[in-house]
Amino acid sequence: MRLLIVGTLNGQLGAASQIAMDRGAQVTHAPDTDTALSILRSRGADLLMVEISLDIPGLIPKLRAEHFSIPVVACGIGTDPKTAAAAIRGGAKEYIPLPPDAELIAAVLEAVAEDSQSFIYRDAIMKNVAALAEQVAPSEASILITGESGTGKEVMARFVHQKSRRANKPFVAVNCAAIPENLLESELFGHEKGAFTGAVARRIGKFEEADGGTLLLDEISEMDVRLQAKLLRAIQERQIDRVGGSKPVNVNIRIIATSNRNLQDDVKDGKFREDLFFRLNVVNLRVPPLRERPLDIQALAEYFAKKYAEVNQVEERPISADAMKVLKAHNWPGNVRELENTMHRSVLLATGDEISAAAVLLPDASGNLAVTGSGESRAPESQPQSSMGEEGGIDAEVAATLVGKTVAEVERDLIIDTLKHCLGNRTHAANILGISIRTLRNKLNQYHADGVSVPQPGDNNHRASV
């Protein structure tokens, strides 16, 4: 749980911060809303706790404009009902009176954690995995969670933590693939002042941050073999050595690791230590790919459709039967992450009373987004207008805008319109489109070379070069 506290109520907010940290939250402070927005853009957060004297009604629209789906909790000295009501009307989900009450803050953090890490499943195969996870959660055993990218391995790890005896202690996640090899050791174990050039102060690593709780080592297969030896010792001895340190530091943590590769194959190839593999793989939880969970496709699609209608402040629409057929027929190589991006796009593109198959754009064989219908992707010009009604999966209103266009042209218009919707923010547009920021920039550069102008960051109307 990443908590961003906004305001300057001196000791009162400091006390709230300490309570939150005791409950496992990672707390960051911002003196005002502009600084808070800057922090959100760079680091993100799961919950905002904002001082009541700040402009909460003005902050909420700014969050929505940048597509930050983050709950806001107001806080202030006293329990004046009028003050609390004003905060709620301004867009806050709750009002917390100060001085802070530990149980109240704990309850708010728990509710937000449940909302932000929703573990949604309906298929029997996932029910079996969840049952095993709940059975082993109270133990101290290390757990290895395996599965393809995007299946929800971190969500499963948080589920195990929430069902464990450590649930009221920190849950700390480290993405081993996202941190450069030369920095990962310091990130995990911390360092002492002067340990290396730039180490101007002691830094506590993730092992110490997670003390008493759970440490998630995400994509552990990407960890260098040399660092694996130090990790093995830390797990065996429950001690770590800070970089540049002179004495070991005791830690009490439960390790959960994830991998989208077969670690046994990596062991055979000499890329992963066998002894570390056995230490981590006390219990293995395999999260099946989405294509093996058809009932979960429906449950998750409905959840994401509702979520992104609320985020984007558009009308909530049910998913049509034809659109659901398209979703269930897709192979979902990107799994839940791909489905989430697809539904975000569909919410934005939908017209009429339902999310029709026309609004469900999925990658074709070349990786380009294509109009879908009746369960398969096709170029929009492959059908005459008269056959593109609801029976074919594309309503007449949308069809009228697509007839005669190539897939590339439809994709270009979708990218430009999504970028306008995101006020030119490349990162947010790439997330909605389900493509990497690099792919988006390459396409925008190509459009610019072809004489097509695109929105600048922060501008919803003006179009300029990339």
- The DSSP secondary structure of 27-81, one letter per residue, reads EEEESSHHHHHHHHHHT--SEEEEETTS-HHHHHHHHHHTT----EEEEEES--H
Q: Do 350 and 106 contact (CB within 8 A), yes or no?
A: no
Res 112: pLDDT: 61
Beta strands in 374-419 (DSSP E): 376-377
Q: Which token pair is 196?
A: 């290396």
Of 255 and 94, more confident: 255
* pLDDT tens per residue across span 110-157: 666 555 556 788 999 999 999 999 999 999 999 999 999 889 998 999
pTM: 0.62
Res 205: pLDDT: 85
Query: Phi then psi for 393, rounded to 5 degrees?
Result: 100, -5
Res 5: pLDDT: 87
Q: How far apart are CA 67 and CA 61, in angstroms?
A: 10
Q: Backbone dihedral region of 178: left (phi > 0), alpha (psi from -120 to 50 degrees) or beta? A: alpha
Query: Phi then psi for 312, rounded to 5 degrees?
Result: -95, 5
Q: Which token pair is 329?
A: 């027929």
Q: Which token pair is 66?
A: 């940048």
Q: What domains lie within the chain, and their CATH numbers?
A: 2-115 (3.40.50.2300), 124-286 (3.40.50.300), 292-464 (1.10.8.60)
Q: Which token pair is 177?
A: 């693939």
| Residue 466 pLDDT greater than 50, yes or no | no
